[in-house]
Amino acid sequence: MAFEYELPDVGEGVAEGEIVAWHVAPGDHVDEDEVLADVETDKAIVDLPSPVAGTIRELHAEEGDVVEVGGVVVTIDVDDEASEQPEDASEPDESTTAAESSEPALKGADGETPVPEGRVFAPPNVRRLARELGVDITAVDGSGPSGRITEGDVRSAAEAEEPERKSAVTKRSDAGDKKSAVTKRSDTPDGDRKSAVTKRTTAGGTDSSASAEDHAESADRDRTVAVPAARKLAAEHGVDIDGVPTEKSRDGEPFVEVEDIEAYVETRQRAEPATEPSETTTAAGTPATAAEARPVSREPYQGIRRTIGDQLQAASSEIPHATHHDTAVVDELVATRERLNERADERLTYLPFVLQAVVAALDRHPVMNTELDEDAAEIKYKEYYNIGIATATEAGLMVPVVEDVDAKRLPELSAEISELIERARSREISREEMQGGTFTVTNFGAVGGEYATPIINRPETAILGVGELRQRPVVDDAGEVVPAQTLPLSLSIDHRVIDGAEAAQFTNTVIEYLETPSLLLLE
């Protein structure tokens, strides 16, 4: 018996998720709760556990596909039923019975799909597939030209028939549902489900035009679904519709819309003046316009990358940023850390010292630990210190949050920071662990560099960038240029809430603690 697993709401009010990776393939056997896939929502990646034990029949989304909640992601042949229902998908249906009764002399074998009477506008392979999948082809709506039935139409019809057949199982598993939050299946009607799997690029014409260039050479399909208007437009522009790039699909077939063709034609027109002159170009030089024809590679702007981008754009355009730069001379901190590390079980990094200094400074400059509530026309002062640590990962920037930094001792803090960063990098971190920060530290100095212009992590109002700790020349009290361990600091503030002077004062306090770490003992 086939179980169609619909994407559950894997977060709070999440509407869609991107399939980042499949851990199973058709034919694999899975146990209940075995992880089927990694699904990425706005900010986190969650495991998608199997609600049943069985054999994977079909994956309905590819890695990178964005699936709406309620969209079917995988069909699983449930174990219990497997013995009763052989894999042969051509199960008996009413039409078989009808054919039998109308022609009692000659019964088809059990489970066979009878050949319909009259014309069927579908090619032989599609008719064969319909028999194989047990689909009554006369009941299939064709999406091809003039309503011709395609392979995709038959497959969709086969999928649509499945839920009816499995209704008994559905009810039973609903009754015994242990973890409804994750395995709850919505009762989306089949019709809606078909469109559930879409590529992010269908969201707008801009994206599809971008992908047109992207795949300008690779799009060479055998077949393409398109409405007549699209085919006509393609013909008018002399465009091979199978060559028009698209990430969209309808009923399992590549689907090209009018806008895709327009975008493709536009791209082609842009490309032509660029490439044609190059044919006549001598070895002397390449025309500047040919730059467009130079090889580029592209990757999708979606998932975490896009989430980061959207956040940063909102922060950057909404918040009037000002950045204050200063440097702490931290010879004493370096020495202190070395001494401590001689005794510590786990080596301390500098970051916990920075965090303690920041918290101590926040305590003295509460305006830095705020949130601007514009709707209420209020500045919200937070009397707790949850410090986010901006962390570079392969997937992009993530900000795990260390809660109640003021209540944690140095070794504890150090261990927690290391663990959070590690889990962010391995993408094991949960959404919750990246929420609720009051102030953020970004340690770009781990990579190198001195000063930067950090962008504030909304809804916070300040962020401290820490440059590379290293020896730099400084002028000492005697007026001599001497080498000293220095830590460059860049503090960006929401200038609506925080004045420049306050930023400078806060930075001074941070520097004070960093330069004289023993002061932290008073905190």
Residues carrying an active site annotation: 495
Q: Which positions ≥6 away from 485 have C-beta within 8 Å?
A: 329, 330, 331, 333, 334, 469, 470, 471
Nearer to another protein, 101 or 280 (CB): 101
Both structure tokens of 349:
């990094």
Give me the least distance between CB of 189 and another protein, in Å please.
28
Binding site for another protein (CB under 8 A): 90, 103, 105-109, 112-116, 118-124, 127-129, 131-132, 144-149
Closer residue to another protein in complex, CB, 83/102: 102
CB 132, min distance to another protein, A: 4
Element (H, E) at 487: strand 481-494
Token digits for 438?
Answer: 């009051």
Give the three-class secondary structure for 74.
Answer: strand
- What is the closest distance, in whole angstroms, from the C-beta atom of residue 143 to another protein in the complex? 13
The least distance separating another protein from the CB of residue 194, rounded to whole angstroms, comes to 22
CB 27 within 8 A of CB 88: no
Could you tell me if 38 and 46 are in contact, meaning their C-beta atoms sit under 8 angstroms apart? yes
The Cα–Cα gap between 274 and 43 comes to 40
Nearer to another protein, 177 or 242 (CB): 242
Phi first, then psi: what are they for 266, rounded to 5°? -60, -45
Identify which of residues 128 and 347 has a Cβ nearer to another protein in the complex.
128
User: Exposure pattern of 50-63 as b/e (b: 16+ CB <10 Å)?
Assistant: bbbbbbbbbbbbee
130 or 489: whose CB is closer to another protein? 130
- How far CA 291 is from CA of 283, 288, 371, in Å, comes to 16, 6, 46
The number of residues in the chain equals 523
User: How would you classify the pairing of strands 225-226 and 253-256?
Assistant: parallel
Query: Two tokens at 347?
Result: 């080596």
Closer residue to another protein, CB minimum distance, 244 or 462? 244
Provide the 8-state DSSP code for 460: B
- Axis-axis angle for helices 228-236, 258-280 (nearest 10): 20
Neighbour count for residue 235 (Cβ, 10 Å): 12
Name residues whose C-beta falls within 8 Å of residue 319's C-beta, 6 or more positions apart in sequence: 456, 458, 494, 495, 496
